Amino acid sequence: MAGERAPLLKKGSASTSNAKLYLATFSAVLGNFSFGYSLVYPSPVIPYLQVEDNPNLRMDTPHIAWFGSVFSLGAAMGGLGAMLLNDKTGRKMSIMISAVPSTVGSLLLGAAQTRWMLYLGRILTGIASGMTAASIPVYVSEISSPSVRGVLGSCPQVTAVFGSLTLYALGLLLPWRWLAVAGELPALLMLVLLCFMPKSPRYLISKGRQEEALKALEWLRGRDADFISELQKIERSISSQGHISWSDLAKPCYYKPILISVTMRFFQQMTGITPILVYLEPIFHRTKVTLEPRYDAALVGAVRLLSVMIAASLMDRAGRKRLLFTSGFLMFLACQALTIYTHTTPCPSINITHSQLHTPFSILQSHGVQQSPPFDPITVIPLLSTMVIIFGYAMGWGPITWLLMSEILPLGARGKAPGLCVGISWVTAFILTQVFMHVVEAYGLFVPFLFFSVVAVISILFTALYVPETKGRSLEEIENYFRTGRTFTINDN
């Protein structure tokens, strides 16, 4: 069926248009860099806060659980706030506003004198991250052409991972206060660059601002591209939808893509990725990995970056569903390996004082103290398993859930629904991150990892039954698929 394989939009001068398109994408996804940086901030900081001289800052297990998890509460609030901002101010302005809580939160973390300042700083950076998570994927998908939307749609996850890796790397060099201060720079750069970028053409058309939308498309595609034809197709798609009311949500063309998006973001968090990343160094301490935990964390961050870059290169060739299957299978195998290891291998805490445990390795060596035990080959299992979990997640369930959310949601719901998805996602992350350390203290590491392996199997089944393949399809074709329930092909008549 040739019509099914034919692209909706004619390929114009891609080489002319892509430079500015890439610049606009880069400007937006700097917000995801801040998101990834802020998300894993506790990982290298917790060991130092556990032995902090200031009793108002020192943390035990309950404090650590809150410090790690309140970020997710903030992200849920930010996602719900973006539900209003995306439609009222536009996707671009919503991203720009996120720079305010991000900068203030980082300043609070850097200047903290009490635990409540740390918690508030985490909540504010979480709010900023929730706003960007709900706005950036939509903005990027709406400014992208179908031929590069898969690659550009994975950019939010790539930059989030790069932000996490940067945090791990700087954690080897900077004190924890300066780590927080350094987190302000990407958000401020994003704010400046976005002032010169266009708004989403689809958002502008939905607001009746065709003249601005035409200029935005011309800027993004280049003068030699067929941007007028693209504008007309977007106008037809929007006019066919009209305004969505609550009663419209009962229609399959609306509730199916929304339910798929919400469920995918729910499963994304249920894989356990947030507590694993937030408590990466404490996990390595408990599994007695021979290499110093902070170097393990940096190594895992590098693997995560490599895997999302591989996923980005395969997104428009292998397809979304194949990568989701591969991702779920790898996470299942790795979680099973960690479950068996932590259940059958004694993993007590290292028997040195707290001050020795959380002092950098170079300082311990200078005092004649060896932090790590002699090399034991079996301790490679948790390190490799964690790498495979991160690799598998970053190959599929990390970037593709962001991309699919922005692709399959109907335009009329694309402002509010991402906020709902992000809100549910981060409420789930908060519960998991809050409960994780308490479960580990009470039952051991094998219990959460056994649970995560079961979730991986369920996610594979969900992908097979409900997730459509959107590779190479325009946003209008994807909307038509859910509207007709049969075909991606649009009948212009």
- Going by C-alpha positions, the residue among 418, 14, 455 that lies closest to residue 271 is 455
Q: What pLDDT does 154 receive?
A: 74
User: 157 versus 8: which is more confidently predicted?
Assistant: 157
Ranking 62-76, 136-150, 300-314, 443-457 by mean pLDDT, the lowest is 300-314
Closest CA to 171 of 350, 295, 329, 36: 295
Confidence of residue 328 (pLDDT cuts 50, 70, 90): very high
- How many helices (H) and strands (E) in the chain? 26, 0
pTM (two decimals): 0.70
Distance of CA 114 to CAs 57, 63, 262, Å? Answer: 5, 12, 37
**What is the model's pLDDT at position 437?**
82
Give the N- to C-terminal CA distance of the chain in Å, as an integer.
19
Q: What average pLDDT does the segment 94-109 reach?
A: 94
Q: What's the CA gap between 379 and 395, in Å, rounded? A: 25
pLDDT at residue 242 is higher than 60: no
pLDDT (0 to 100) of residue 414? 64
262 three-class SS? helix
How much is the pLDDT for 141?
Answer: 83
Is 493 or 450 the better-scoring residue by pLDDT? 450
Exposed, middle or buried by CB within 10 Å (0-12, 13-18, 19+), for 5? Answer: exposed
For the chain, the residue count is 493
Backbone phi, then psi, for 13, in 5-degree steps?
-85, 85
Give the model confidence (pLDDT) of 339-351 as tens digits. Answer: 988 877 554 444 3
Do 43 and 277 meet the contact criterion of CB atoms below 8 Å apart?
yes
At 7 the pLDDT is: 43
CB 445 within 8 A of CB 238: no
Q: Report residue 164 CA to chain centroid gap.
A: 11
- At residue 240 the predicted structure's pLDDT band, cuts being 50, 70 and 90, is low
Whether the pLDDT of residue 375 is over 60: the answer is: no
Tokens of 371: 């932090």
Q: Which of 458, 147, 139, 423 is nearest to 324 (CA)?
A: 458
* Residue with tokens 């060896």, as numbered in its chain: 370
Q: Which residues contact 60 (CB under 8 A, 6 or more apart)?
A: 50
pLDDT > 50? residue 8: no
For residue range 45-97, what is the model confidence (pLDDT) as tens digits?
Answer: 888 888 888 889 888 878 888 888 899 889 888 888 887 787 788 889 999 99
Q: What is the dihedral of CA 251, 257, 261, 264, to 10 degrees?
A: 110
Q: What's the mean pLDDT in 25-52?
A: 88
| Domain ranges (residues) in the chain | 17-197+242-484
Domain 17-197+242-484 in CATH 1.20.1250.20? The answer is yes
Q: Identify residue 381 by its one-letter amino acid code.
A: I
Judge contact between 455 and 316, C-beta under 8 A.
no
For residue 427, what pLDDT is reported?
86
The pair of structure tokens assigned to 115 is: 């635990």
Q: How far apart are CA 323 and CA 319, in angstroms?
A: 7
- pLDDT tens-place string over residues 413-469: 666 677 778 788 888 888 898 888 888 888 888 899 999 999 999 999 999 988 888
Look up residue 470 and give its two tokens.
């959107």
Cα separations in angstroms, 184 against 31, 33, 253, 404, 480: 11, 11, 41, 29, 42
Strand locations in 75-180, DSSP E? none
Which residue is it, tokens 């689809």?
Answer: 202
* Arithmetic mean of pLDDT, 313-342: 86
At residue 370, what is the residue type?
Answer: Q
With a pLDDT cut of 90, the percent of the chain lying above it is 21
pLDDT tops 90 at residue 104:
yes
- Top pLDDT among 12 and 243 is at 243
Mean pLDDT for 100-121 is: 93
Burial code (b: 16+ CB inside 10 Å, e: under 16) for 82-120 equals bbebbbebbbbbbbbbbbebbbbbbbbbbebeebebbbb
169 vs 227 pLDDT, higher one: 169
Least confident of 168-172, 296-300, 420-424, 446-450: 296-300
Confidence of residue 356 (pLDDT cuts 50, 70, 90): very low
27-41, 174-188, 223-237: range with lowest mean pLDDT:
223-237
User: What is the pLDDT, as a whole number, of residue 452?
Assistant: 93
- Can you point out the beta strands (E) in 54-126? none
Taking the C-alpha atoms of residue 465 and residue 133, their distance in angstroms, rounded to an integer, is 26
Predicted pLDDT of residue 365: 35
Given a cut of 50, is residue 359 above it in pLDDT?
no
Q: What is the mean pLDDT of the chain?
A: 79
pLDDT, residue 193, reads 95
Under the banding of pLDDT at 50, 70 and 90, the label for residue 228 is confident
Please say if the pLDDT value at position 493 is more than 70.
Answer: no
So what's the pLDDT on residue 294?
A: 66
DSSP string, 209-249: -HHHHHHHHHHHH-TTS-HHHHHHHHHHHHHHH-PPPGGGG
Rounded to whole angstroms, how far apart are CA atoms 399 and 307? 10
Q: What is the pLDDT of residue 370?
A: 40
Closest CA to 455 of 258, 264, 259, 260: 264
pLDDT of residue 485: 66
